[in-house]
Structures are given as structure tokens and as C-alpha cells.
Chains A and B, each alone.
Chain A
Amino acid sequence: NAGVTQTPKFQVLKTGQSMTLQCAQDMNHEYMSWYRQDPGMGLRLIHYSVGAGITDQGEVPNGYNVSRSTTEDFPLRLLSAAPSQTSVYFCASKRGGGYTFGSGTRLTVV
């Protein structure tokens, strides 16, 4: 099993550009989430999903969209990138208990 796979690992965007961060898991986990990590802020929940076709907002959802058309995939879309979205983004999945995390996507918006 590959676990939770995030792509790309690094990305630089210009302000106003859009892009999709990919997340895939092969563990048949129901729950998936996206977090962003900024220095001194810990991990903040952006969006989460309790199963295919179901998504909900977390603590900091503005500027991001998600969809969950399959159990395996949970992409995160930045509609119009802003410098404030410069961060490390982590995708995670679980069935019960705690999340398994991907290795992250480091995004810089210039």
C-alpha cells in the first residue's frame, strides 16, 4: 500500500492563478481531510469529507474548494491564489482513530 499520496511536492504560483492539489489514498478510508500548516499555527483544517459525495468546511475554508467523487481521491482547488495561501498543505485519511498523513505539498504564491 502506498498510503496517502500527495502531488505535487512543491509548487510556485503567481497571484491569481488557479491550481489543484491532488490527494489519493489506497487504504479504502472513509474520512479524508486537508490541512494547512503555517509557522507557529499548527495544522488548521481547511475541508474534510466523511465519504464519497460528502464534503464540509473546516476552520479556514475560504479560497479553497474540494470534491469527493470517489473514495480514493480528494483534490483541493485554489480558485485564485493569494500570497496568504503560501503554506504547506497536508492531506490525511482515516477509517477510525487517527489520521494517516501524506508528506505534504509546499506551495508558494508570489
Chain B
Amino acid sequence: GQQLNQSPQSMFIQEGEDVSMNCTSSSIFNTWLWYKQDPGEGPVLLIALYKAGELTSNGRLTAQFGITRKDSFLNISASIPSDVGIYFCAGNRDDKIIFGKGTRLHILP
């Protein structure tokens, strides 16, 4: 089946640091999506990418759709305490959206 490999699994950073996480796949996707999940809630869409090579920002978040259509990355600049949570990448192909296993972001005081 289609697999998304998301890394790292978890990150411990200091407030103010930049964060980078990525997702790779052996399959091509038509759309890449990045979600954030807070405890006890459903995932919330952060950024959607629709074209290979596309670079999109949403405030302090920047994501790119890899040129091969098999990967994507998400950067968070100048992290703040409310950035804590689990970040998921997801790929859309053939009407299905498949999720990575998530990156858990911890911010140290």
C-alpha cells in the first residue's frame, strides 16, 4: 500500500528555534497536506500544496511540494509554546488521503 515516511518522530526544541520536518513516499501524490493536532482534538489543516515545486507560507509556517511529487517538508520559524502538538503530513491520490505517522513537537521552557 501507499506509505508515507514522516520524520522525525519527535522533536525537543527551545522556544524561538526554527523547526523542520519532512515526509517522503515511494508513490507520487497529487496534493500534499500538512495538519496539526492538539490533544483531544481532530487534526486541523495548516497548508495544502497542489503543484510540484510549490512553496507556500501560512504565517510562520512554510511548506514545499517536492519536485518529484514524492516528498514535502514543513518549516516552522521562531517557535512559540502554542506550536506544541503533533504535525501530520498527508498525501492525496486517487480520492484517498493517506497520513504519515506524525511528528510530535515539544518545546522546552
> Which residues of A approach B to under 8 Å, CB–CB?
4, 31, 33, 35, 40-45, 48, 50, 56, 58-59, 90, 92, 97-104
- Contacts A90-B43, A98-B92 aside, 8 further interface pairs with beta carbons under 8 A come to A4-B42, A31-B95, A45-B98, A48-B95, A97-B33, A97-B50, A98-B90, A103-B41
Residues of B within 8 A of A43 (CB): 43, 88, 99
Chain B: interface secondary structure? strand
Q: Which of B44, B45, B95, B99 contacts A44 (CB 8 A)?
A: B99
Report how many A-B pairs have Cβ atoms within 8 Å: 57
| Residues of B within 8 A of A (CB-CB), count | 24
Cβ B101 vs Cβ A42 within 8 A: yes
State how many angstroms separate the Cβ of A5 from the closest Cβ of chain B: 11
Interface string of B37-48 (1 = CB under 8 A from A): 000111111001
Residues of B within 8 A of A92 (CB): 42
CA distance A101 to B102 in the complex (A): 16
Chain A: interface secondary structure? strand
State how many angstroms separate the Cβ of B86 from the closest Cβ of chain A: 9
State whether the Cβ of B79 lies closer than 8 Å to any Cβ in chain A.
no
Cβ B95 vs Cβ A50 within 8 A: yes
Residues of B within 8 A of A100 (CB): 45
Nearest B residue to A40 by beta-carbon distance? B101
Nearest B residue to A56 by beta-carbon distance? B95
Q: Which of B43, B92, B98 contacts A59 (CB 8 A)?
A: B98
Cβ A45 vs Cβ B97 within 8 A: yes
Cβ B31 vs Cβ A97 within 8 A: yes
